[in-house]
Amino acid sequence: MTRRRLIISLALFPAAAWVLYAALGRTLAGALDSRFGLRVLQMAAGKTTDSRVFIQMRLREAVLLLTAAALIALAQLLADSLIKRRTSSRLAWILSAISGFVCLNVFAVVAAHTVLFWCLLFTGTGTTHNFTQYQIKWGLMREMQAPKQAVLLGSSQTRAEIDEGLLNDRLGTQLWTTELHFPGNQIYDMLLNLEDLPPVKVDYVICYLSEGNFIAGPQMESMKLFLNFRDLPEFFSMGGALTHPVLPLAYGLLGNTLPLFRLSDSLLGRILGHTMMNLSQEEWNQSLLTDLATRAKIAAAGYHPGPNAVFQKNAFGVFAAKCRARHAVLIVCCGQLNPILGRVIDPSLRANMLAFLRHQAAQDTNIVLLEEAQMPVQTEQDYDDLTHVNRAAQVRFSEFMAGILDNLTHTNQPAQHAAR
């Protein structure tokens, strides 16, 4: 095929693809659903309830990705032709390489906004990169048809405590819950996730907070994946420059500039596999002491007040204000650590956290503060480690949360009173 014919083909392909999709998209989706619908629902594991809609949206995204690939390839061909005509041969290959790199990043932007792209990076339950899982759930939020929606934000503690599947089994016809935790997330990271939510009406934002959320330092992974240039003024106004080193900030801004950098770990996870990508984590896991009491004494050394606590409290104030601006009720579970760890850390940390959250709830009627006395009791036997509860405790807590949400969705009272 000559270069001229290739250019013409790339230019005409998008129109032909969309015409074909308009003519056959629904029919093809129906045929695929009748054959693979049950398998799709099984693999989705409760993330979607309508296999036909899921399949049709993925077909639409396939056409979108093919369109983007054709147009970006066309742009690269035209740019390459222009570069070769206007520059010397020594400089042409450098400019062509830069142009190609820009085109790849443009395609990455388009692809990252499709669930299909992230599904192609899915390697299985328990082995898929956290960012890939997050993006799949994020994308499916836009497709969920429910009277109301809730979102779970926070660290792995939020995920361990609350089972979104159980909530959706109980309340799915009236309230659909999407879990968007990210490991290690602190309060500022939750603020970044809130800003990153898709353009859907979210009625409830739920988080589970414990002492560690107010004292831990910056999370490199979260900053790299979620920080954008638009966040900088707010970041500095909250005192972020005083508590965060330059490297996490630089990684976040580089990821915002070069989408391929932000996608690199997910792509490598698909290429190299879970085992190769998690060698350091596995080595660290194997190095952990099995005696939780000894581990708790070691971990307690990292639980101390510092400048990061001020930053995280400032972030919580902004987080709560933005939930209110979105007309989303903020439900804060004033959680705990494994009592083995809770007994050996500075007791002033918990007292300070409780006083701060109570003050915030008193000032903002949009906040539903669930304190320890209201929630199911959790003992040492309910924990798998120092921070994460076992399945039985998760079920009890999730049933409790289902009752809270059911009460909230059936009352017109102010949020704080409806939860009592």
pLDDT (tens digit, 9 = 90+) per residue, 367-411? 999 999 999 999 999 999 999 999 999 999 999 999 999 999 987
**What's 375's domain CATH number?**
3.40.50.1110
Q: Are residues 294 and 193 in the same domain?
A: yes
Q: Let me know whether 175 and 97 are in one domain.
A: no
Same domain? For 87 and 177 the reply is: no
pLDDT computed for residue 257 by the predictor: 95
Instruction: Specify whether 85 is located in the same domain as 179.
Output: no
Q: Binning pLDDT at 50, 70 and 90, where does residue 288 land?
A: low
Considering the domain architecture, whether residues 92 and 135 belong to the same structural domain is answered as no
Do 87 and 16 lie in a common domain?
Answer: yes
Angle among Cα 419, 198, 401 to the nearest 5 degrees reads: 20
What local confidence, expressed as pLDDT, does residue 155 receive? 94
Say whether both 259 and 294 belong to one domain. yes
Q: Dump pLDDT digits (tens) for 111-152.
A: 999 999 999 999 888 789 999 999 999 999 998 888 999 999
CB-based contact 229:256 (threshold 8 Å): yes
CB count within 10 Å of CB 85 equals 8
What is the tens place of the pLDDT at every residue in 222-264? Answer: 889 999 999 999 999 998 887 888 888 999 999 999 999 999 9
SS3 for the chain, per residue? CCHHHHHHHHHHHHHHHHHHHHHHHHHHHHHHHHHHHHHHHHHHCCCCCCHHHHHHHHHHHHHHHHHHHHHHHHHHHHHHHHHHHHCCHHHHHHHHHHHHHHHHHHHHHHHHCCHHHHHHCCCCCCCCCHHHHHHHHHHHHCCCCCCEEEEEECCHHHHHHCCHHHHHHHHCCCEEEEECCCCCCCHHHHHHHHHHCCCCCCCEEEEEECHHHHCCCCCHHHHHHHCCHHHHHHHHHCCHHHHCCHHHHHHHHHHHHCHHHHHHHHHHHHHHCHHHHCHHHHHHHHHCCCCHHHHHHHHHCCCCCCHHHHHHHHHHHHHHHHHHHCCCEEEEEECCCCHHHHCCCCHHHHHHHHHHHHHHHHHCCCEEEECHHHCCCCCHHHECCCCCECHHHHHHHHHHHHHHHHHHHCCCCCHHHHCC
What residues contact residue 255 under an 8 Å CB cut-off, 6+ apart?
A: 224, 225, 227, 261, 262
* Count of domains for the chain: 2
Domain boundary among 87, 119, 151: 119
Residues 238 and 380 in one domain: yes
Tens digits of per-residue pLDDT, 75-93? 999 999 899 888 887 788 8
Claim to verify: residue 354 and residue 274 sit in the same structural domain: yes
Domain closes at, from 72, 102, 119: 119
pLDDT band at 417 (very low <50, low <70, confident <90, very high): very low
Range of the domain at 151: 124-418
The verdict on pTM exceeding 0.85 is: yes
pLDDT at 364 over 90: yes
CB-CB contact of 92 with 84 (8 Å): yes
Q: Are residues 105 and 63 in the same domain?
A: yes
Task: Mark whether 86 and 163 lie in a shared domain.
Answer: no
Between 5 and 320, where is the model more confident?
320
Decide which of 93, 119, 145 is a domain's last residue.
119
Regarding whether 249 and 279 lie in a shared domain, the answer is yes
